[in-house]
Amino acid sequence: MKQTALANSFPLNPSIRLGYIKYFLVFIAGLLAPFGFAPFHIPGLTLISLAFFYSSLQNCSRKQALSLGFFYGIGYFGFGVSWVIVSIHDYGQLNYFLSGLVTLIFIMYLSLFPALVAYFYKLLEFQNRKLLSLTLFCVLWCLSEYCRANLFTGFPWLFVGTPLIDTPIKYITPVLGVYGLSLLCVLIATLLTLALAPNTPKRPHYLIAIVLILISPMLCKNVSWSQIKYEPISIGAVQANLSMRDKWDETLFWNLLKYYENAINKLLGKQLIILPESAIPLPASYLDKYLLNLNNKALKAKSALMLGILQPTNDRETNYYNSVITLGQAKGKKLKRQLVPFGEYIPKPLVTINRWLNLPEPNLLPGKRKQSLIRIENRPIASLICYEIAYPEILREQMPKAQWIVSISDNGWFGHSLAGYQQLQMAQILSLLTGRYQVVVNNDGLSSVIDANGDIIDSLPPFSSGLLQSSIFPAEGLTPWIIWQEYPSLIFCSIFLIFVLFIQLRRLFQ
């Protein structure tokens, strides 16, 4: 009788309770993964997180794997992109409940990708062939990141290979590409799972393989993919640290113009002066006299000036481009191609919902794919605006002509969050991929100069105002990534997946 009463007081049997604990632990593992990214820079935690996730998929059903992958994704993206709620609530004019709901739906969508990786891994895994199975998991993860970056509006953020730039593996980034880094990261994590599994006869082999993967890229440390053939360029960048409310406050507009003019005056004489994205919150067509004055000052001081500003798409000014214009010793302009979903445009399927919620509708249009490069002292440069930093192919299309990179942003939309740190880390990867110096200018902090090896050599503190003064070196040359793009990793993954499908279908019909 006592046993029956005790059993009734705990309606879940032990196996079910253990199942819930497993889901909780996988969720915690997902929470740990973003600690490998900036600003934490603990890549080992990302590897441990992935290793735990992979080990949790052993000895479970496909349905359980799907759920485990989903819970892992909730932890991973729930913490990693938590900054989304800031812009939705503070600037999307939604209350906390609706902001949280929209953010949760977005995180749940992103969580479908690790969930599907887990499901198809269990569907296609090889029994008693550990190396083939772990390779399958690596391939599925890599392809899921590619799909996440390209499906619908695309969201190429928090790729698991990113933390590896804080390890010796960074030296082969120009060979591997972004997806190659992810492939290698998941490979290390799965090998770690095998090495730490109990009663593993080949544990030394797996550990040696991990060590070799981690240290062998050091052989490429002294390889110079690009060549510096020119004198350094002196640069100055303005970091205003204006809040979004102040920036778009009409009563403060003239103070803002005066602030930027004074900041530019202090930097005149630098070969290149840069202001952040949408530095002046008014279309260029309304500021002819102000811009003409800046142009004359820059010409007199022999300085080139780049600044972010809106430009009308037509004479009626019904729509605008988010753009970079140039003054003084510079020529050309850049129109932003990759707009931020919900912030700069509303995806067509969601326009009706947006109107139902009575949210403001953005009136920005994307620029054309093919645009002439901006020239500074007749030297071509690559330029990126904010969200475009997450799309390396936009940069690759400007190579190899571009001699350095200028990236401008305004992460004030995301408050004091992880967004700016994560974006700067992605900018470091772009310099590694191309072998080019880069100037990153951000309104609310972390304006930086990155060298051709992806190292930050000068930087301003986050969430503060200041002037960044430094030098960059123009470079020429082709890295393997500029030539091959991401094709080697994606082709390998596609061929391997086709091979697995062929083998498993063959077994099915035997």
Give the model's pLDDT for residue 3: 42
What value does the mean pLDDT take over residues 343-348?
Answer: 68
Q: Is residue 260 part of a domain?
A: yes
Residues 69 and 162 in one domain: yes
What pLDDT is attached to residue 357? 63
> pLDDT at position 200, please?
81
| d(C-alpha 213, C-alpha 391), whole Å | 27
Amino acid identity of 65? A
C-alpha angle with apex 491: 117 to 205, nearest 5 degrees?
65
Shared domain check, 242 and 189: no
Q: What is the pLDDT of residues 389-404, one digit of tens each?
A: 999 999 999 999 999 9
**Is the pTM value of this prediction over 0.85?**
yes
CB 27 within 8 A of CB 74: yes
Same domain, residue pair 203 and 289? no
Please indicate, yes or no, whether residues 19 and 87 belong to a single structural domain of this protein.
yes
- Section 79-90 average pLDDT: 87
Mean pLDDT of the chain, nearest integer: 91
- Looking at the domain assignment, is residue 2 inside a domain? no
| Percentage of residues in the chain having pLDDT higher than 70 | 92
Q: For residue 72, is it within any domain?
A: yes
Q: Omega before 43 cis (within 30°)?
A: no
- The answer to whether residue 133 scores a pLDDT higher than 60 is yes
pLDDT level of residue 12 (50, 70, 90 thresholds): very low
User: Is residue 333 domain-shared with residue 457, that is, in the same domain?
Assistant: yes
**Shared-domain flag, residues 275 and 208:** no
Rounded to an integer, the average pLDDT of 346-350 is 63
- Would you say residue 32 lies in a domain? yes
Residue owning tokens 């935690």: 45
- The answer on pLDDT for 126 being more than 50 is yes
Indicate the angle between helix axes 419-434 and 173-196, nearest 10 degrees: 120
Give the pLDDT mean for 379-387. Answer: 97
Is residue 400 reached through a cis peptide bond, with omega within 30 degrees of 0 on the bond before it?
Answer: yes
Non-local (6+) Cβ contacts of 22 within 8 A are 56, 68
CATH number at 418 reads 3.60.110.10
Q: Which of 84-88, 174-178, 314-318, 421-425 shows the lowest per-residue confidence on average (mean pLDDT)?
A: 314-318
Helix, strand or coil, per DSSP, at residue 328: strand
Domain annotation covers residue 6: no
Measured distance CA(41)–CA(337) in Å, rounded: 30
On whether both 391 and 459 belong to a single domain, the answer is yes
| Position with higher pLDDT, 4 vs 423 | 423
User: What local confidence, expressed as pLDDT, does residue 6 receive?
Assistant: 34
pLDDT at 251: 86
Residue 483 lies in a domain: no
Confidence of residue 86 (pLDDT cuts 50, 70, 90): confident
What torsion do the CA atoms of 258, 262, 264, 269 make, to the nearest 10 degrees?
150
Check whether 410 has a pLDDT greater than 90.
yes
Q: State residue 1's pLDDT score.
A: 42
Q: What six digits make up the tokens of 331? A: 């020529």
Count the domains in the chain. Answer: 2
**Domain match, 185 and 330 both:** no
Q: Do 152 and 81 fall into the same domain?
A: yes
Q: In what order do the strands lie in the sheet with 233-239?
A: 333-335, 320-328, 304-312, 272-274, 233-239, 466-472
pLDDT in tens, 186-222: 999 999 999 998 888 889 999 999 999 999 999 999 9
Output the pLDDT for position 70: 98
Query: Can you give the pLDDT at residue 415?
Result: 83
Kindly state whether residue 1 falls inside one of the protein's structural domains.
Answer: no
User: Do 141 and 256 share a domain, yes or no?
Assistant: no
Q: How confident is the model at residue 17, as a pLDDT?
A: 54
Tokens of 333: 């302009």
pLDDT at 144 over 50: yes
Q: What are 95's two structure tokens?
A: 């209350």
Domain range holding 362? 227-478
Indicate if 238 and 212 belong to the same structural domain.
no
| 235 phi and psi angles, rounded to 5 deg | -130, 155
Measured at the CA of 249, the angle between CA 248 and CA 255, to 5 degrees, comes to 100
- Spatial separation of the C-alpha atoms in residues 330 and 489, rounded to whole Å: 38
The DSSP bridge pattern shows strands 466-472 and 475-476 to be unpaired
| Whether residue 4 has pLDDT greater than 60 | no
3 state DSSP class of 356: helix
Least confident piece of the model among 149-158, 217-226, 308-317, 330-339: 308-317
> Nearest CA to 273 among 223, 221, 330, 220?
330
Residue 359: per-residue pLDDT: 63
Please indicate, yes or no, whether residues 232 and 216 belong to a single structural domain of this protein. Answer: no
pLDDT at residue 153, rounded to an integer: 79
- Would you say residue 92 lies in a domain? yes
